[in-house]
């Protein structure tokens, strides 16, 4: 129970300690393996697998068994109660939704799985936070500046923010310095890796993000 008397689950330890969530939105779930292995080697310790990738739920239990000791595997783009329940049953370490839904927050909390709901306006973000979200996802982050963290903490002092959408390497550093608890990164880190791109280049980009996020502790 937090000081504002809301039941709020903490984000998983690997996610909070590294402060970097890599969003992998693959064409198919079979495309996860090589990318996950490279991210693991680079030191990435939190990965969001999205439900827009066909087969994500069906593959999740196997991926958690393989990588769960080293990577927090979350499930994103959760928008319905059924999707949330299936992700929890399959072993998701945390959940991410692009919408503001007190019902999804309550369902995730009851299931004992942290959830990060998305929003952009103060009303949307506070609605999720006051419902008990573990953190709130500012999306699309490119529409605001990192100073938005400070602006939000004026009326909402304890709110934990994770920017998502267009966060590049320089942006990751700036958002974390502004007070974000983590950054959510996709294309600027993954590049062409899901289209057959060079894995050594992916590893180098991932290592750069890992270093930047670690340096901003």
The CATH number covering residue 81 comes to: 3.20.20.70
Q: Are 87 and 112 in contact (CB under 8 A)?
A: no
Q: Note whether residue 6 is domain-resident.
A: no
Token pair 């390497």 is at which residue? 169
Calpha distance 76→152 (Å, rounded): 24
- Determine the structural domain holding residue 118 and report its residue range: 13-212
Closest CA to 161 of 72, 170, 169, 151: 151
Q: Note whether residue 137 is domain-resident.
A: yes
- Mean per-residue pLDDT, 99-124: 97
pLDDT at 2: 39
Structure tokens at 133: 């979200």
Q: Note whether residue 26 is domain-resident.
A: yes
Give the phi and the psi of residue 87 in degrees, each rounded to 5.
Answer: -65, -40
Calpha distance 23→128 (Å, rounded): 21
Q: Note whether residue 52 is domain-resident.
A: yes
pLDDT tens track for 144-162: 999 999 999 999 999 999 9
Q: Note whether residue 1 is domain-resident.
A: no
Q: Active-site residues: which are they? A: 48, 137
Q: Note whether residue 192 is domain-resident.
A: yes
Q: How does strand 136-138 pair with strand 183-185?
A: unpaired
pTM of the model: 0.95
Q: Note whether residue 179 is domain-resident.
A: yes
pLDDT at 3: 40
Count the domains in the chain.
1
Q: Note whether residue 170 is domain-resident.
A: yes
What is the dihedral angle through the alpha carbons of 215, 163, 5, 103, rounded to the nearest 10 degrees?
Answer: -140
Closest CA to 100 of 70, 75, 121: 121
The answer to whether residue 197 scores a pLDDT higher than 80 is yes
């Amino acid at each position: 129970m937090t000081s504002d008397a809301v039941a709020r689950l903490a984000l998983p330890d690997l996610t909070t300690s590294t402060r970097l969530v890599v969003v992998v939105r693959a064409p198919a779930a079979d495309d996860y393996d090589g990318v996950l292995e490279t991210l693991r080697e680079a030191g990435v310790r939190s990965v969001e697998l999205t439900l827009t990738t066909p087969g994500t739920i069906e593959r999740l239990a196997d991926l958690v068994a393989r990588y769960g000791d080293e990577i927090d595997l979350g499930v994103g783009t959760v928008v319905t109660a059924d999707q949330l329940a299936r992700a929890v049953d399959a072993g998701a370490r945390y959940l991410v939704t692009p919408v503001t839904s007190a019902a999804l927050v309550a369902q995730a909390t009851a299931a004992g799985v942290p959830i990060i709901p998305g929003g952009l306006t103060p009303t949307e973000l506070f609605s999720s936070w006051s419902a008990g979200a573990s953190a709130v996802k500012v999306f699309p982050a490119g529409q605001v500046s990192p100073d938005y963290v400070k602006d939000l903490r004026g009326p909402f002092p304890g709110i934990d923010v994770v920017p998502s959408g267009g966060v590049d390497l320089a942006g990751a550093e700036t958002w974390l310095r502004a007070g974000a608890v983590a950054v959510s990164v996709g294309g600027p880190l993954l590049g062409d890796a899901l289209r057959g791109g060079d894995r050594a280049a992916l590893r180098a980009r991932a290592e750069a993000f890992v270093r930047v996020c670690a340096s901003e502790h």
